[in-house]
Amino acid sequence: MEKDKQIGKSDILKNALYIIIFFVGIYFIFWQFQPLEEEKSEYELCAEAIDEAKYFLSVSNHDLINWMTYKYKLIDEHPTSIKITDTYCDVLERDEIEVTLNLDVKTSKNRLAHIEAVVYVTDGYADYIEFYQDF
């Protein structure tokens, strides 16, 4: 009689173990086939960062004007046209990208300045911009 009870208990534990293993297996099978978020390629990251840098440059136009006024000592003169001649992208880390924009800036007195604008993009958003004189 006691032997039958022990056999019954061991069968119940064994069946419970099989059921747990079955459901864990099902969970991992379905988990494996879940659509994973595809990581963007370096090209896609750079394309998005360059777009963000161009937008940031257009928004921070007054920074460029202030920098040019200081650097070139502009008196009664202001930038009239800004042309992006070239863009470079350097992926420092997955979420940190450095975008370099080469600019041709024409002033109201028809002077042309070659300026390099470096925009730091973090997590898809431009943080700040630095300007350098490009020779």
pLDDT digits (tens, 9 = 90+) for 77-87: 888 888 999 99
Does residue 87 sit in helix, strand or coil? strand
* Closest C-alpha among 93, 84, 87 to residue 122: 93
| pLDDT score of 36 more than 80 | no
- pTM for this one? 0.68
Q: Looking at per-residue confidence, does 61 or 47 come out higher?
A: 47
**Inter-residue contact 118 to 96 (CB < 8 Å):** no
pLDDT band at 29 (very low <50, low <70, confident <90, very high): confident
Q: What is the rounded average pLDDT for all residues in the chain?
A: 84
Say which CATH architecture domain 42-133 belongs to.
Roll (3.10)
In angstroms, the CA 132 to CA 130 distance is: 7
Q: Which residues contact 126 (CB under 8 A, 6 or more apart)?
A: 52, 53, 55, 56, 119, 120
